[in-house]
Every structure is written in C-alpha cells, then in structure tokens.
Amino acid sequence: MESNVSIGLLGLGVVGSGVIKLIENHQKELAHKLGCAVQVKSVLVRNPDKARDVNLNRTLLTTNPDDILNDPEIDIIVEVMGGIEESYKHILKAFAAKKHVVTANKDLVALHGIELQETATENKCDFYYEASVAGGIPILRGIAEGLSSDRIQKVMGIVNGTTNYILTKMSKEGVSYTDALNEAQELGFAEADPTADVEGLDAARKMAILGRLSFSTNVSLDDVEVKGISHVDLEDIHYGDKLGYNMKLIGFAQCEDEQVEVHVQPTLLAKSHPLAQVKDEYNAVYVYGEAVGETMFYGPGAGSMPTATAVVSDIVSITKNIRLNVNGAQAVPLRFERKLKSPEEQYSDFYMRLHVKDEAGVFSTISSLFHEHDISFKRILQTPMKKLDLAEIIFVTHETTLGSFRKAMEELYRLDVVLDIKSHYKVEGDVDDELAGTAETL
C-alpha cells in the first residue's frame, strides 16, 4: 500500500462534517479502490470550541488557513466554507503551493470557475467541483465523461430543492406561496432569507456551470436570464393542471449552431415530460444529446451526506490521478466563442392569462393582434367573472419566438379591452389530449 493521501478541509459546517463522516466510515472501501488510505490532516474552523455533530480530534482544528495551505504534507484542499472572495484567495494560494482542490462552492465556480481551472492547469493541479451542482447527483461527471462522445443540445434542470418543494406543496395541496415557504423553512429546506432560492439566483449559478460544461463555451452568470417563483399564483397552477401541465422552476440551457440561450424561470411542463413528476425537495437534470437522445439524472440535490458523496468522489478521482501522475492533464479547455441567441432566435410555446372586458368581439380583437405577429393558439380557456363584469382568458400558443411574443404582449397593454395581463410563462413539452382536461377551445 502506498503513502496516505492527506486532506486539508476548509470549513466544518454541514457538508464538511459529512465529508469527515464519509471518509471515516468508508476507509476500507477507499483503501480498496485506491490502494492507499485517505486521511483528514487539518480542518479550518472559525470557532474551535463550538459543539459539532462529528467526532474529531481537537488538535486537527485550526483558525489559521496558512496552517493548511502551507503544509507540505497536505495533498488535497477541500473547500466547503462557502463565500466567494475569501475562498477564491485560498484556492489560488493552494494552486500556487501545487495542491489539488475540491470545492462544493457553486457561487465561486459560477463566477470564477474558468480562471480557477486555467490556474490549476498551469500549476499541474486538479480542480474538481462535482458537488457545486445538484448535490449528490453526478451530473457534471456524467456530462464531462459519460456523454463526452455526444453533442449535447439541451440541458433542463430542477436544480433547486427549495423551490421544487414549494411548488409541489402549492400544486398538490393548494396552499399559498407564503404558507408553502413557511413550511419549507420550518423543515429546513429553505433559509431564513430565502431570496437566493426563490428568486432563482441559486439555480442561475448552477445553470451557468452546466451551460459552460455542456457546450464548451464561456457562459457567465450575467448571461443567465432569471425569474423566480415569488409571484407564482395558485390560479396559474390550477389552470396549468387543467391544461395538462405542472409548474416547475426550470433551469434551461440550449445550444444550436454554436449559439446558446440560458435562463431560469417558472415553466409549465407537460405532465408527460420526465421532469414534471419530480416532487418535493428532489433535483433532476434532463440532458438531450444528438446521439443518445433523452437522459435524466435524479436524486437529492442537497444535504450533508449526498453532497459529501460528491466531494469524496472528487477526492477519489484526484487520488487516482496522483497515483498515475496525470494531475492537471484532465481539464479540457473551452472550445467555442460565446454567442448568445437573441430573443428572435429563442423559440417556445407560451402561456398567458388575461383579464378583459366581458363583451362581444374581445377575443377576435386579441386573436387578430397575435395573428399579426404570426402567433396562433394551441389551447384556450375562457371564464366569465360576472361579479366584476370581466372575463378571464387563458391560452397556450403554438411555438413562436420570444421576440414576437414580447412584441405582442406590449401591444396587448395598449388595447382598451385588455384590463390586465395577470401572468405569462414559458411552456415545455406536448400535452396529450387525455391530459388536457376539459379545456374549452373557442
């Protein structure tokens, strides 16, 4: 058996504790697979006296990052402390010291991943970050290795468990957004400040990473259009269900002719779509390849042990590279110049809910306006609201461009017969007639 591989751990929170537990409990398996033991030599913490749910010799704890970063006996740095600037500086220092790095930090990878990968390669170091997207689901390794022979055309994901839990509660139990969020917070699925989750920022960071890896182009966080779920109405979930759709916060990345679009937004998914039945706090990523067709990766997207599993898998990969003396040789540089699709090049079906005057000829006026933009309707519901002397119209368009849909929507606001555009959402997937309920076609 060869010399042990030594780990320096930056952070001892939920994920860091899970990493230590996994390494301790799986020593026999790790030694069998690697031909050497893996040991945690030192751990950076803010408060050494804090009570923790992991048994660890106190002599391994330090409050000085240099005790770890400058230790010549430490081979791999595992960054699970979170944050951006401090973690960024520590990782650069680790590479300068010829240490390999594993991180679970999606914020850091989304913002500085390309620069960090280049720095790692220059120093013949490995930089792995499987745990930064979808927790324990091996999606990055699946794309980089399992689907490396294919051309990936589209990646769609439920990559935030908090929002999926909230939308599941709203859909299945009819509770309000506020009540569903409160329950998610009570169960620990949502933070006290849930902004990053519910406004789509967490998912956007993950989609920047997925888009970059899938299409070999520099997708930055600023390239991701983001819309969260805080304004999703139970009415739209109800009408979507009636029309054959489930509401999900979807991260979407697509590449055609080397042009990409990446966005995160609440989306009505046809119930037959593989992602539509992913419930509660679970994550799933749907990948469509030119050769393989549809694939889907499903599992827990967060939590101590699932995320730790991804971190330790990266440690295993780096250790194998150390034994083969190929560290820093695995990374594939980006291939294509970033080219973003314009709204006129982004195609989709769309859902819209309107409040209009309840009088003759209103729908004909609206239909004519959309026809001027070459937009036709696939499904339509109309509900009179006699008490308010208005009507509610819900429709799903056939495929059109985002640019055309936006122009039509702008003109709708100027029609006297349209009182309010209550909502509009992207639609994905085709609905079977049997799943479309009793939709009324006008």
Within 8 A by CB and 6+ apart from 435, the residues are 244, 270, 271, 272
Percent of the chain with pLDDT over 70: 97
For residue 80, pLDDT beyond 90: yes
Could you report how far apart the first and last alpha carbons of the chain are, in Å? 75
pTM, rounded to two decimals: 0.93
Percent of the chain with pLDDT over 90: 88
DSSP-assigned beta bridge partners for residue 177: none
CA distance 198 to 249: 9
What is the per-residue DSSP string for 201-223?
HHHHHHHHHHHHHHHTB---GGG
Three-state secondary structure readout of 302-365: CCHHHHHHHHHHHHHHHHHHHHHCCCCCCCCCCCECCCECCHHHCEEEEEEEEEEECCCCHHHH
Residue 434: band (very low, low, confident or very high) from pLDDT cuts 50, 70, 90: low
125-169 pLDDT, tens per residue? 999 999 999 989 999 999 999 999 999 999 999 999 999 999 999
From 57, 61, 59, select the one nearest 12 (Cα to Cα): 61
Question: What pLDDT is recorded for position 303?
Answer: 87
Q: Are 301 and 160 in contact (CB under 8 A)?
A: yes
For residue 247, pLDDT beyond 60: yes
Q: Are 352 and 394 in contact (CB under 8 A)?
A: yes
Strands 76-79 and 100-103: parallel
Residue 203: band (very low, low, confident or very high) from pLDDT cuts 50, 70, 90: very high
What is the per-residue DSSP string for 132-194?
GSSTT--HHHIIIIITTTS-EEEEEEE--HHHHHHHHHHHHH---HHHHHHHHHHTTSS-SS-
321-342 pLDDT, tens per residue? 999 999 998 888 899 999 999 9
Domains and CATH numbers, the chain: 5-136+304-324 (3.40.50.720), 139-300 (3.30.360.10), 343-435 (3.30.70.260)
3-state secondary structure of 419: strand
Catalytic residues: 206
For residue 11, pLDDT beyond 60: yes
Question: What pLDDT is recorded for position 433?
Answer: 60
CA distance 83 to 24: 27
Q: Are 127 and 50 in contact (CB under 8 A)?
A: no
| Rounded mean pLDDT, 91-95 | 98
CA distance 135 to 16: 13
Q: What is the DSSP letter of 53?
A: S
- Exposure string over 160-195, b if 16+ CB within 10 A, otherwise e: bbbbbbbbbbbbeeebebeebbebbeeeebbeeebe
Q: Are 158 and 249 in contact (CB under 8 A)?
A: yes
In the chain, the amino acid numbered 274 is: P
Within 8 A by CB and 6+ apart from 128, the residues are 100, 101, 102, 103, 314, 317, 318
3-state secondary structure of 238: helix
Q: What is the mean pLDDT of the chain?
A: 94
Rounded to 5°, the CA angle 385-412-433 comes to 65
